[in-house]
């Protein structure tokens, strides 16, 4: 038992039979509804027709309307309750962690956390790190200044709680960070996929091989990471690379175990619905794509019920060789915000990322843009190669890339090779897709 119990952060919740997971979720959902009605101005209105006792099955949650990011923005706009407005679920003097969303899709949302809620968020990240194999013997380097963005703070606090030695790398430039990794003999990294690739690229330019650094595991946050990108990072660093999914508002809600085949939803801490993309009302079948709607069941300072994450995911089964019984996400297919139609074809930028990382390892940074010229939409891809290549080889690369993109996306791209470092570099969320129509 002792050895087996160390396999899991919490051997009780992680191996619970499905019906017990559902029972705990239901109990905590009722509690959350009741709490929110009493303590959150936002929910006093949204839940005015709901009686917690009427929530008898998990499906009854559908009586509650979806919560959109725009609802949160409106609940904070011009409200007298400085700084968090109507979303606050505790007296403001109990808020001691300020975080905010990145503002990629509009005005940032301010996220209030009390020490109790922050402990809960940290605990979720302990699950994620433990599942990925982080232990108290690890030296974890975090190559960022985290500013007000939440994921790396959560990772930092959780790694400390696990007993890891945490080395923050905020004030350094990329070369300085590489030297620090070597100096402290870091065994683990927490970074965005983009920055993981950039670190490796800079290390190589310094004449170093990241495969010799001794990094045993890397956990990525901040951006969608297709399998091809994850494998590419594994080969660049010769390490195990783990994904997770989450957001500033709902917290991280699914993580990857050592099997690295999909993501485990953090049940029973979260209630996650995966709803069909068209109506957002029907729970999708296993294998089907849907949008993730998330209810964190243990947050009181920022109560949140049925938050529409706009993350498009493929529903998996509750069946993993690691022994965990939680429902799984087979893949994260992208963001609903990025899903668009170009000349009548449904397009997601993740499909380009997947192709480049799987088949064109000579390509480094890239940028996709869509423009309207007259009545026609055109899609362009600017890209850099990691090494300079001759003109004839470049012509061949452009031809091959164009062909593969056509097969993959059903779209003909205008391809524009650019000089190395002409494109912007990103530390946190990369913005490689621009819809300029």
Q: How far is the CB of 30 from other proteins (least distance, A)?
A: 13
Residue 17 vs 170, nearer CB to other proteins: 17
- Retrieve residue 33's tokens: 């509804």
Q: How far is the CB of 122 from other proteins (least distance, A)?
A: 8
Taking the C-alpha atoms of residue 397 and residue 366, their distance in angstroms, rounded to an integer, is: 14
Q: How far is the CB of 275 from other proteins (least distance, A)?
A: 25
Q: How far is the CB of 223 from other proteins (least distance, A)?
A: 28
Residue 27 vs 372, nearer CB to other proteins: 27
Taking the C-alpha atoms of residue 199 and residue 209, their distance in angstroms, rounded to an integer, is: 11
Q: How far is the CB of 24 from other proteins (least distance, A)?
A: 5
- Retrieve residue 206's tokens: 């310094």
Classified as helix, coil or strand, 257 is coil
Q: How far is the CB of 246 from other proteins (least distance, A)?
A: 17
Residue 58 vs 202, nearer CB to other proteins: 58
Provide the β-strand partners of residue 262. none
Q: How far is the CB of 123 from other proteins (least distance, A)?
A: 5
The three-state (H, E, C) secondary structure of 309-342, written as one string: EEEEEEECCCCCCCCCCCCEEEEEEEECCCCEEE
Residue 159 vs 355, nearer CB to other proteins: 159
Residue 7: exposure state from Cβ atoms within 10 A (0-12, 13-18, ≥19): middle
DSSP 284: P
Residue 10 vs 227, nearer CB to other proteins: 10
Widest distance between CA atoms in the chain: 71
Which helix (H) or strand (E) segment holds residue 281: the answer is none
Residue 208 vs 318, nearer CB to other proteins: 318
Taking the C-alpha atoms of residue 276 and residue 288, their distance in angstroms, rounded to an integer, is: 8
- In the complex, the residues that contact other proteins under the rule CB under 8 A are 10, 12-13, 16, 20, 23-24, 27-28, 115-116, 118-120, 123, 268-269, 297-298
Residue 296 vs 316, nearer CB to other proteins: 296
Cis peptide before 300 (omega within 30 of 0): no
Q: How far is the CB of 89 from other proteins (least distance, A)?
A: 14
**How would DSSP label each residue in 148-207?**
T-HHHHHHHHHHHHHT-EEEE-TTS-HHHHHHHHHHTT--EEEE-HHHHHHHHHHHHHTT
Q: How far is the CB of 218 from other proteins (least distance, A)?
A: 26
Residue 37 vs 117, nearer CB to other proteins: 117
Residue 173: exposure state from Cβ atoms within 10 A (0-12, 13-18, ≥19): exposed
Residue 222 vs 296, nearer CB to other proteins: 296
CB 274 within 8 A of CB 308: no
The distance of Cα 187 from the centroid of its chain, to the nearest Å, equals 22
């Amino acid at each position: 038992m002792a050895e087996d119990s160390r396999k899991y952060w919490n051997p009780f919740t992680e191996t619970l039979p499905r019906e017990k997971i559902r029972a705990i979720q239901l109990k905590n959902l009722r509690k959350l509804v009741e709490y929110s009605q009493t303590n959150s101005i936002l929910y006093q209105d949204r839940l005015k027709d709901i009686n917690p006792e009427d929530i008898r099955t998990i499906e009854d949650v559908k009586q509650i309307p979806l919560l959109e990011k725009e609802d949160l923005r409106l609940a904070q706009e011009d409200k007298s309750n400085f700084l968090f407005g109507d979303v606050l679920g505790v007296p403001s003097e109990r808020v001691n962690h300020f975080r905010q969303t990145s503002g990629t899709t509009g005005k940032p949302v301010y996220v209030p956390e009390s020490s109790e809620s922050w402990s809960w968020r940290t605990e979720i990240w302990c699950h994620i790190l433990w599942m990925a194999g982080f232990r108290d013997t690890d030296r974890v380097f975090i190559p960022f200044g985290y500013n007000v963005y939440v994921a790396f703070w959560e990772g930092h606090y959780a790694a400390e709680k696990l007993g890891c030695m945490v080395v923050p790398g905020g004030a350094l430039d990329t070369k300085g960070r590489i030297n620090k990794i070597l100096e402290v003999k870091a065994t683990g990294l927490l970074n965005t996929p983009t920055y993981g690739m950039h670190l490796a690229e800079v290390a190589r330019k310094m004449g170093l091989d990241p495969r010799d650094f001794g990094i045993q595991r890397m956990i990525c946050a901040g951006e969608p990471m297709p399998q091809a990108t994850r494998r590419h990072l594994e080969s660049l660093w010769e390490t195990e690379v783990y994904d997770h999914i989450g957001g500033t508002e709902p917290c991280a809600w699914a993580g990857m175990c050592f099997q690295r085949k999909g993501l485990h939803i953090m049940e029973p801490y979260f209630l996650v619905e995966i709803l069909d993309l068209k109506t957002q009302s029907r729970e999708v079948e296993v294998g089907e794509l849907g949008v993730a709607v998330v209810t964190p069941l243990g947050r009181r300072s920022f109560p949140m019920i049925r938050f529409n994450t706009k993350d498009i995911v493929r529903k998996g089964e509750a069946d993993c060789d690691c022994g965990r019984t939680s429902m799984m996400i087979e893949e994260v297919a992208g963001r609903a915000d990025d899903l668009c139609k170009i000349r009548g074809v449904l397009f997601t930028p993740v499909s380009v990322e997947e192709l480049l990382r799987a088949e064109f390892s000579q390509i480094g940074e890239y940028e996709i843009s869509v423009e309207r010229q007259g009545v026609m939409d055109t899609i362009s891809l600017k890209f850099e190669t990691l090494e300079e290549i001759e003109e004839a080889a470049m012509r061949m690369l452009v031809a091959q890339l164009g062909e593969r993109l056509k097969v993959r996306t059903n779209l003909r791209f205008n391809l524009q090779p650019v000089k190395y470092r002409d494109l912007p570099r990103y530390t946190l969320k990369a913005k490689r897709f621009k819809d300029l129509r």
